[in-house]
C-alpha cells in the first residue's frame, strides 16, 4: 500500500493518502481545501486515481477539499449519514466495508466529538479523526459533543483493537505523527490508565477551551462539502 501522511500547519490537520499499488486507485482522508493543488500534484506524481475523499466528521477548524476534488477529479465524498453533510456521494454507517483496489477500509462510527464522527480501520492502522488524538481526544463542548458518548466510542470501538494497531489522528499540536492503541490505553492523560467514564466526563467538562477560530466559516461550508455560500450584496 502507498501511504503518505500530509500536514496542514495552520490548523495542525493531518490528511492521509492511501493508494493501491496494483490498481493505482487511491483515497484521501480529511483533505483540506487550501492543499488541493498539492494533492493533485502528488496524485499525478504517484500515478494514482483518486476514488474517494473520506471525512472523519464535519470539521469546525478547516474547510474540506472534498468538493473541489470532486469537481476537478471526479472523486466521491464519504461521510457518516448523521454528519449533516447530505451533499456527500456516500452516506455510510458503522461496519461498512469499502474496497479500493486491494485496500479494505472498515468504517467505525465513533461519535462524541460530533454525532457523525468516523474512524477508518485499514489493516494494521486506524485513522481516528478527532475522536482519539495522541495523548488526548476531540473536545465535546460544541457541535453535538457528548463526553460520555465519546468515552464509549473510544473504549468500545478503538481500545478493543489489537494493542499494536497504529493510531493516526486528525490533528496533532505537538509534533507527534503516530501512536498505538497500547500506548493510548496506558498513557492517554484523559482516558488511559483505566480512567472511568465519570472521570473522563469530569475532565472534559473542566477544559474551558476557546471558541474555535474558524468554526463560523468552516461549519456551514463543510455541511455543503466544502463549498462556501455565495455572499449577497445590496
Retrieve residue 49's grid coordinates: 486515481
- Per the DSSP assignment, residues forming a β-bridge with 6 are 15
CB 156: neighbour CB atoms within 10 A? 11
For the whole model, what pTM was predicted? Answer: 0.94
For the record, the C-alpha cell of 112 comes out as 462524541
Retrieve residue 58's grid coordinates.
464535519
The per-residue DSSP string of the chain comes to: -EEEEEEETTTTEEEEEEE-TTT-EEEEES-BGGGHHHHHHHHHHHT-EEEEEE-SS--SSS-BSHHHHHHHH--EEEEETTSS-TTSSEEE-TT-EEEETTEEEEEEE--SSSTT-EEEEETTEEEEETTEETTEE---SSTT--HHHHHHHIIIIITTS-TT-EEEESB-SSS---EEHHHHHHH-TTTTTT--HHHHHHHHHT--PPPPTTHHHHHHHHHTTT-PPPPP--
Distance between CA 126 and CA 119 in Å, rounded? Answer: 7
| The predicted structure's pLDDT at residue 229 | 60
Q: State the Cα–Cα distance between residues 180 and 194, nearest whole angstrom.
A: 16
Q: What is the pLDDT along the chain (234 residues), one digit of tens a residue?
A: 999 999 999 999 999 999 999 999 999 999 999 999 999 999 999 999 999 999 998 888 889 999 999 999 999 999 999 888 778 899 999 999 999 999 999 999 999 999 999 999 999 999 999 999 999 999 999 878 999 999 999 999 999 999 999 999 999 999 999 999 999 999 999 999 999 999 999 999 999 888 778 788 888 888 888 776 653 333
Amino acid at each position: 500500500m502507498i501511504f503518505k501522511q500530509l500536514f496542514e500547519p495552520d490548523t495542525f490537520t493531518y490528511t492521509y493518502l492511501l493508494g493501491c499499488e496494483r490498481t493505482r486507485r487511491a483515497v484521501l482522508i480529511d483533505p483540506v481545501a487550501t492543499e488541493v493543488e498539492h494533492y493533485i500534484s502528488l496524485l499525478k506524481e504517484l500515478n494514482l486515481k483518486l476514488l474517494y475523499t473520506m471525512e472523519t466528521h464535519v470539521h469546525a477548524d478547516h474547510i474540506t477539499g472534498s468538493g473541489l476534488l470532486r469537481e476537478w477529479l471526479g472523486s466521491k465524498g464519504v461521510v457518516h449519514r448523521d454528519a449533516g453533510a447530505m451533499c456527500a456521494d456516500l452516506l455510510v454507517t458503522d461496519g461498512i466495508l469499502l474496497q479500493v483496489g486491494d485496500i479494505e477500509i472498515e468504517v467505525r462510527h465513533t461519535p462524541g466529538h460530533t454525532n457523525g464522527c468516523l474512524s477508518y480501520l485499514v489493516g494494521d492502522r486506524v485513522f481516528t479523526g478527532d475522536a482519539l488524538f495522541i495523548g488526548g481526544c476531540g473536545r465535546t463542548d460544541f457541535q453535538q459533543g457528548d463526553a460520555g458518548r465519546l468515552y464509549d466510542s473510544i473504549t468500545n470501538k478503538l481500545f478493543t483493537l489489537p494493542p499494536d494497531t497504529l493510531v493516526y489522528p486528525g490533528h496533532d499540536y505537538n509534533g507527534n505523527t503516530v501512536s498505538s492503541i497500547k500506548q493510548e490505553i496506558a498513557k492517554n492523560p484523559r482516558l488511559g490508565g483505566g480512567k472511568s467514564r465519570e472521570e473522563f466526563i469530569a475532565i472534559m467538562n473542566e477544559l474551558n477551551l476557546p471558541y474555535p477560530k474558524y468554526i463560523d466559516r468552516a461549519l456551514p461550508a463543510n455541511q455543503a462539502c466544502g463549498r462556501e455560500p455565495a455572499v449577497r450584496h445590496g
